[in-house]
Structure 1
C-alpha cells in the first residue's frame, strides 16, 4: 500500500477505557498491515495491559463509512485499500464515490473485481475544476464524439453547451462533486 496523505488510519481505544472516562488509544496507520488479522492482533498487543480489551474505533481518516463502524472494520477493507493504493488521488476519490453513492459496495453482493470493472466502464473523469462540471463534460463529450465536426463554424458558436450538458445528465450520466459517471 502506498503511503500518502490519504493513507487510511484508525484511532483505536477500548470500551473499558472509554467507560472509565479515558480516550486513551493510538492512531494505527493501516498501510503498515497486510490484512485485518494483522491489524487487529497489533491493536490487542497495544492494549495488552487491559484484561480482555474490547476494541473501540474512536476516529478514522480516509476510510469510507461503509467499511467501518465504532466496533468493526469490514472484511473487504484491506482489499479496497489495496485497490485504491494503485490509483492516483482523483481516481481513488472517484472510486470511493462510485462504491458509496452509486453501487453501494460492499453491500451489493459484488466482489471487488466486479466493482472495479464497473467503475472503469462507468467513470468518465473529473470535470469540477471550473464552473459547471456538466457544461465542461458537454464540451469534452462533443469533442470526443465529433457531433459538431461537420457543422459550419458559425453554427458551433451558437451551440448551447450548457443546455446540452444539462440534457446529457437527465438520462445517461451522473455527476457527483465534479466526477462524471455513465449511468448503469
Structure 2
C-alpha cells in the first residue's frame, strides 16, 4: 500500500456497543498490517473490554465495496492491495472496475492471480473520449493498429462509418466502463 495519502482505512466498532447506542470504535489504517489475520487480531485487542465482541465495520475509506461489508473483510484484501500497488493509478482503477463490474471478483470464486491474468488479457486501455466518446476513440486506434483499412482505396476510407463499426464492436466483443475498454 504505497500511497499513504489514500491508504485504506476502516472504522471498527462492535455490534454490542452499537446496540447500546454507542459508536465507540477506532479508525484502523490497513497500511499498518500485513494480512487480515493481523488486522483482526488488533481489532479484537482494541475491543478486549467487551466479552466476545462482534466487530462492526461502520465506515471505510479507499476500499472497494467488493472487499468489505459491515461485518467482514475479504481474506485476499491485502493481496489485492499488493497487486494494485504494482500497477499505475490508471491501470489500478481499471483493475478495480474489472473486478467489480465485469467478473464479480471475489464472488466468482476465482483466484486473484488468475483474475489478474484474465484482466491483463482483456484490458485494452483508457480512452478519454476526446473524439466524441471513448468507444469512437478506441475504434480509430483499433483500425489503425490492426491495419484494417490500410489497403483500402482513399475514396473508400473516406466513407467508412467509424460510429457504426464502434457500435457493432461494442455490442459484441468489447465493453467500456468510465473510459476503460475491455475485450469480452
Same fold (TM over 0.5): yes
**Structure 1 unaligned regions, length at least 5:** none
Distance of aligned partners of 1:133 and 1:31 in 2 relative to their CA distance in 1, 3 Å threshold:
same
Deviations 1:117-150 (A, max 9, x none): 1000000011134331110110110111111222
Mapped pair 1:83 → 2:88: no
Could you state the TM-score of these two structures normalised by the residue count of structure 2? 0.90
Q: Which runs of 4+ in 1 moved over 4 A?
A: none
Q: 1:56 Cα shift?
A: 0.5
Cα distance per residue 1:84-103 (max 9 Å; x no partner): 11111111111111112211
Task: Decide which moves more: 68-77 or 48-57.
Answer: 48-57
CA contact (8 A) 2:10 2:29 kept: yes
Unaligned 5+ residue runs, structure 2? Answer: none
State how far apart, in whole Å, the 2-side matches of 1:43 and 1:101 are: 30
SS at match of 1:23: coil
Asked if structure 2 preserves the Cα contact closer than 8 Å seen for 1:3 and 1:31, the reply is no
TM-score by length of 1: 0.90
SS for the counterpart of 1:57 is: strand
Corresponding residue pairs, total: 183
Question: Distance in 1 between the 2:170 and 2:82 partners?
Answer: 32
